[in-house]
Amino acid sequence: MDWGTDLWDQYEIIEKHTQSGLDLVEKYVKFVKERTEIEQNYAKQLRNLTKKYSPKRGSKEEQECRFSNHQSFLDALNEMNDYAGQRELIAENMMMNICIELTKYLQDLKQERKTHLSEAKKAQQSLESTYKQLDCSKKRFEREWREAEKATQHAEKTDLDINATKADVEKAKQQAHMRSHVAEECKNDYAAQLQKYNKEQGQFYFTDMPLIFNRLQDMDERRVQKLAQGYVLFSDTEKHVMPIIGKCLDGISRAGSNVNERNDSLALIEQHKSGFERPSDLEFEDYSQGINRTSSES
């Protein structure tokens, strides 16, 4: 079963079907392009988010990074930034390996389809032209035999006419003979045209058009294969970066595990311990000593 044999009379269907196939590829390219835009936008938002929450150089927040719970937030932000980079990579690879690749392929297919269809049209026109010649030739043959018939009847009638001269009879017979000769030539021409047409028609239906339709089928099957590869690439592109995205997530988990609350408490002590002793008891200030002294001296 192939299009050349089984769809020999479905030129328009094949024309439409192959167009619809190219349309699907075009649609898929557009779909992937829009996905890459979403992905780029997503990555950009993630990058802006990490930037917004990362401490400025020399800021108070940066100094806080001596505490592990601050430092780990910064580490997580950095991993998020790498994560965003991987989403950008997905967008870029989809654009390169699917959109650009399929668009190029699509151009070639469009050209190829156009060539096949124009060859089919040319073959069709050639057959039609031959048919017209045949029809013309056939009609001339019909007309000439009618004329020859009339000339023959006229000659017979003249021959039977008692008033006709011998010269009249001879002239009518010669006319009839000439007409029959012309008609015979037209018949031969018609027979030759018919043979030519039948040969061309056979060539058209059994060789030329099947070849063109099968080429279109082959083209369409190649298109389908390429498109199917494009579907697989769509997920492969993302699967490819998933381990790296997994590593970014591991990095965030590790940042969380690296937080040490005890060390953070000790870091505060190290930074701010004055080293002073706590105040000891106030001493008794005995004003009465002076007085007692005076009293005892008195």
Q: Measured from the CB atom, is 97 or 152 closer to a copy of itself?
A: 152
163 binds a copy of itself (CB under 8 A): no
Closest separation in Å from C-beta 263 to a copy of itself: 9
| Amino acid letter, residue 104 | K
* Centroid of chain to Cα 57: 46
- Out of 163, 166, 276, 296, the only residue in the binding site for a copy of itself (CB under 8 A) is 276
266 binds a copy of itself (CB under 8 A): yes
What the block records as the tokens of 161 is 């006419």
Closest separation in Å from C-beta 109 to a copy of itself: 13
Closest separation in Å from C-beta 287 to a copy of itself: 5
142 binds a copy of itself (CB under 8 A): yes
162 binds a copy of itself (CB under 8 A): no
284 binds a copy of itself (CB under 8 A): yes
120 binds a copy of itself (CB under 8 A): no
CB 227 within 8 Å of CB 28: yes
Question: Which 3 state secondary structure label does DSSP give 59?
Answer: coil
287 binds a copy of itself (CB under 8 A): yes
In this chain, which stretch among 94-102, 106-114, 117-125, 236-244 interacts with a copy of itself, using CB under 8 A? 236-244
- Out of 109, 148, 172, 212, the only residue in the binding site for a copy of itself (CB under 8 A) is 148
Tell whether the torsion through CA atoms of 208, 214, 218 and 223 is positive or negative.
positive
Q: How many binding residues for a copy of itself (CB under 8 A)?
A: 114
CB 4 within 8 Å of CB 209: yes
- Out of 104, 107, 129, 246, the only residue in the binding site for a copy of itself (CB under 8 A) is 246
Q: What is the DSSP letter of 9?
A: T
Q: Which of residues 36-95 bind a copy of itself (CB under 8 A)?
A: 38, 41-42, 45-46, 49, 52-53, 64, 68-70, 72-73, 76, 79-80
* Cβ count within 10 A of residue 36: 21
Containing 54, the helix (H) or strand (E) segment is none
Scored b (16 or more CB within 10 A) or e, 131-163 reads: eeebeebbebbeebbebbeebbeebeebeeeee
Q: Cα angle vertex 262, ends 260, 263, to 5°?
A: 70
Q: Measured from the CB atom, is 71 or 171 closer to a copy of itself?
A: 71
Q: Measured from the CB atom, is 92 or 252 closer to a copy of itself?
A: 252
Closest separation in Å from C-beta 166 to a copy of itself: 19
**Quick one: which of 198, 205, 210, 184 has its CA closest to 130?**
198
Scored b (16 or more CB within 10 A) or e, 211-240 reads: ebbbbbbebbeebeeebebbeebbeebbee
Q: Which of residues 199-228 bind a copy of itself (CB under 8 A)?
A: 201-202, 205-206, 217, 220-222, 224-225, 227-228
Q: Report H helices in 161-208.
A: 166-203
- Out of 162, 167, 281, 296, the only residue in the binding site for a copy of itself (CB under 8 A) is 281
Q: What is the DSSP letter of 281?
A: P
- Out of 89, 91, 120, 138, the only residue in the binding site for a copy of itself (CB under 8 A) is 138
